[in-house]
Amino acid sequence: MDDRVQQSRLSFPPDMVIPPQRYSGEANHAEEAARVFRRCWMFVGFTDDLRNDNDFITADIAGTSVLVQNFDGDLRAYHNVCTHRYSLIHLRPCGNGKPVCPYHGWVFNRDGVPVGIPGNREHFGLDDAAKKRLALRRFEVAVRGRFVFVRLEPAGPGLDEQLGAYGAVLDHLSELFTDRIDEGVLPWNANWKAALESALEVYHVDATHPETFKGYVKKVWVCSYEGEHSRGVSQLSDGSARWWDGVSQKMGLPRSDRLESYDHYLIFPNLAIGVSHGALMSVQTYDPVGPDRCDLHFRLFVGETSKPQTQGGAARKAVEANVAGFNRTILGEDQRVAEATHKGLKQVQAPAVLGSCEERIAAFHRAWLARMAAE
């Protein structure tokens, strides 16, 4: 059979593929922010950083700065913008401190109301009703395991409904992977979709990662789906599996009894979670900064060791440095091709040709197109 005929049978129809024009442009970016990022439950961080009274985390959801604050054990989410002269309130990704605007010192309470206004009597004369009208815009916040999510628009299904069966996966991962060993934010000159797609297939591994990820997994990719979300499973190479067996035994690291291969999850739209041999968890978000830029925020976790004497030891630090360096190298390789792809997308009109080896990308495209078409 002619190769072109065979390819056309296996490829996905063009109307199921995101057009290249939708990967750039301010109008597309604004529409996407409104229809996708404002309506979905968005992962913003971990309860690890919200354990104590006045602990906070901040995040940017497609141009909206969000603050999640612990008020005596009650998590609340607000627009992280002072209603006086519009400075951001908390300037750090996480920390401890009351919501106090750094510009003029306005203090906001658990209801988002400015209850401390320097010079109010002399300069503003705001009574309680006026102060309530200046309350911070509040957003929905929900937690699954240790994963914290925020939704900017209140209408729609709850978090558990959006996650479906993957909610239990987050519970399991939260119980097991408690020790954060690396974290960083990498600016990529690529649309977030082009960046994310590099994580949704292993077809690119031989060409993009010939000295790294190619030797990490076997070329088998079994995919499954849960609503808008997806999972891809690939067997680790024999050498990688032996390495993780040895490290887990020597360090006393716990391993998942459910995830024994390389298990990769996409929680739509932009949360990617990879688990290696049940012993390492990688959490990545591809956060849009603009139509042509995104921030890749990554975190690496292992479980709490059953051999406390290894905690902080030279061998443990060497393993963590090895894993962190390997991860950063792979991300750098993906960045190179994602940025090259973004440049190419701006020069063409026809939709990409997606083969059966890229079925998770096709599923992601279908979910994105459905969200963008919804009223």
All CATH 2.102.10.10 domain ranges in the chain, comma separated: 42-155
Summarised one tens digit per residue, pLDDT across range 280-304 is 999 999 999 999 999 999 999 999 9
Average pLDDT over residues 53-72: 98
- What is the reported pLDDT for 3? 37
- What is the reported pLDDT for 6? 41
Summarised one tens digit per residue, pLDDT across range 202-219 is 999 999 999 999 999 998
CA distance 143 to 112: 20
Mean pLDDT (the chain, rounded) = 94
- What is the reported pLDDT for 5? 35
Residue 75 confidence (pLDDT) above 50: yes
CA distance 294 to 30: 14
Which of 161, 167, 171, 323 lies closest to 247 in space, CA to CA? 323
CATH class of 42-155: mainly beta
Share of the chain above pLDDT 70, in %: 97
Compare 3 and 285 and report the one with higher pLDDT. Answer: 285
Residue 243 confidence (pLDDT) above 80: yes
- What is the reported pLDDT for 338? 98
Summarised one tens digit per residue, pLDDT across range 340-365 is 999 999 999 999 999 999 999 999 99
CA distance 86 to 44: 22
- What is the reported pLDDT for 315? 84
Summarised one tens digit per residue, pLDDT across range 134-152 is 999 999 999 999 999 999 9
CA distance 243 to 322: 12
Which H/E stretch holds residue 144?
strand 138-144
- What is the reported pLDDT for 11? 67
Average pLDDT over residues 16-32: 96
- Tell me how far CA of residue 27 lies from CA of 73, 96, 143, 371, in angstroms: 40, 37, 32, 16
- Strand-pairing partners, residue 236, are 217
Confidence tier at 4 by pLDDT (50, 70, 90)? very low
- What is the reported pLDDT for 305? 86
Which of 145, 153, 136 lies closest to 45 in space, CA to CA? 145
CA distance 194 to 26: 16
Interior CA angle at 187 toward 103 and 49, to 5°?
60
Confidence tier at 307 by pLDDT (50, 70, 90)? confident
- What is the reported pLDDT for 105? 98
348: DSSP letter? -
All CATH 3.90.380.10 domain ranges in the chain, comma separated: 166-373
Residue 366 confidence (pLDDT) above 60: yes
Residue 7 confidence (pLDDT) above 80: no
Order of strands across the sheet with 74-79?
42-46, 147-151, 138-144, 74-79, 64-71, 55-61, 94-96
CATH number for region 166-373: 3.90.380.10
- What is the reported pLDDT for 220? 83
- What is the reported pLDDT for 313? 80
Confidence tier at 10 by pLDDT (50, 70, 90)? low
- What is the reported pLDDT for 269? 98
- What is the reported pLDDT for 15? 82
Question: In angstroms, how far is the first alpha carbon of the chain from the final one?
Answer: 44
Average pLDDT over residues 247-258: 92
